[in-house]
């Protein structure tokens, strides 16, 4: 019995140990040499287990207080799972502008939108430091495990604040297994420096969601 238990722990423990070691190395490399996550890695990050058990798109969208007709900005749409959940809640007149700096990600999203006949999501190549949107023009801004990937997070949040309407929401979601995962207190500190106020928070240390507004 003890031998079987030891064998089981070894079988389970070795992959976990390698995973932790790999995640640590990736985090170290990305701190020294920041770079966007390659588009082909998106499939690993946006997987069915994550969407069903950890960061459910419908649950995350529900927490944003979306309403029909909202004008929404998403930074880093990935495969579009969260984009789609948000877009469904703002029909018929609302639109989601899904921006990224990597055209291959936007091309893949565009293909999915055509296949599923989704017309209120607009993929757009844009710069998070200098968004091509007017002041006070967006109702909701959200980023799923994306903000920490961008250097100078406070500057990005200040730009989010510029385009956000008074009373609007900036919703940030993070996941522990993301190589760029920040502690909840770290993200709150970034937001405070950018002049944002915490409105709501959900989740735990492994996966959390923070909603901010303007002061």
Identify any residues that bridge with 197 across adjacent strands, giving them in sequence order.
213
* CA separation for the pair 193, 210 (Å, rounded): 15
pLDDT in tens, the chain (215 residues): 456 655 554 565 555 554 455 545 555 555 555 556 655 555 556 678 777 778 999 999 999 999 999 999 999 999 999 999 999 999 999 999 999 999 999 999 999 999 999 999 999 999 999 999 999 999 999 999 999 999 999 999 999 999 999 999 999 999 998 888 999 999 999 999 999 999 999 999 999 999 999 98
Backbone angles phi, psi at 138, to 5 degrees: -120, 135
Same domain assignment for residues 59 and 130? yes
Same domain assignment for residues 96 and 84? yes
- 3-state secondary structure labels for all residues of 172-193: EEEECCCCCCCCHHHHHHHHHH
Query: N- to C-terminal Cα distance for the chain?
Result: 61
Total tally of structural domains belonging to the chain: 2
Output the domain CATH number for residue 161: 3.40.50.150
pLDDT, one tens digit per residue, over 91-148 is: 999 999 999 999 999 999 999 999 999 999 999 999 999 999 999 999 999 999 999 9
For the chain, what is the largest distance between any 2 Cα atoms, rounded to a whole number of angstroms? 67
Same domain assignment for residues 79 and 141? yes
In 3-state terms, what secondary structure has residue 166? strand
Could you give the angle at the alpha carbon of 103 between the alpha carbons of 98 and 104, nearest 5°?
Answer: 105
Same domain assignment for residues 200 and 118? yes
Same domain assignment for residues 50 and 137? yes
Same domain assignment for residues 159 and 124? yes
Same domain assignment for residues 50 and 67? yes
pTM strictly above 0.85: no
Look up the domain containing 141 and give its range. Answer: 36-214
């Amino acid at each position: 019995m003890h031998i079987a238990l030891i064998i089981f722990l070894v079988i389970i423990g070795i992959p976990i140990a390698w995973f932790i070691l790999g995640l640590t190395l990736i985090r170290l490399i990305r701190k020294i040499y920041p770079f966007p996550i390659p588009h082909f890695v998106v499939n690993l990050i946006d997987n069915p287990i994550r969407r069903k058990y950890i960061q459910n798109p419908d649950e995350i969208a529900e927490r944003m207080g979306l309403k029909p007709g909202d004008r929404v900005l998403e930074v880093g749409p990935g495969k579009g799972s969260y984009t789609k959940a948000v877009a469904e809640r703002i029909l018929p007149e609302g639109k989601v502008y899904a921006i990224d700096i990597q055209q291959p990600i936007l091309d893949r999203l565009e293909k999915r939108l055509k296949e599923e006949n989704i017309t209120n999501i607009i993929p757009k190549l844009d710069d998070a430091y200098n968004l091509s949107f007017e002041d006070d023009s967006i109702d909701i801004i959200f980023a799923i495990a994306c903000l920490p990937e961008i250097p100078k997070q406070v500057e990005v949040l200040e730009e989010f604040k510029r385009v956000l309407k008074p009373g609007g929401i900036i919703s940030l979601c993070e996941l522990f297994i993301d190589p760029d995962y920040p502690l909840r207190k770290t993200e709150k500190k970034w937001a405070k420096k950018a002049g944002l106020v915490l409105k709501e928070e959900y989740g735990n240390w492994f996966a959390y969601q923070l909603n901010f507004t303007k002061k």
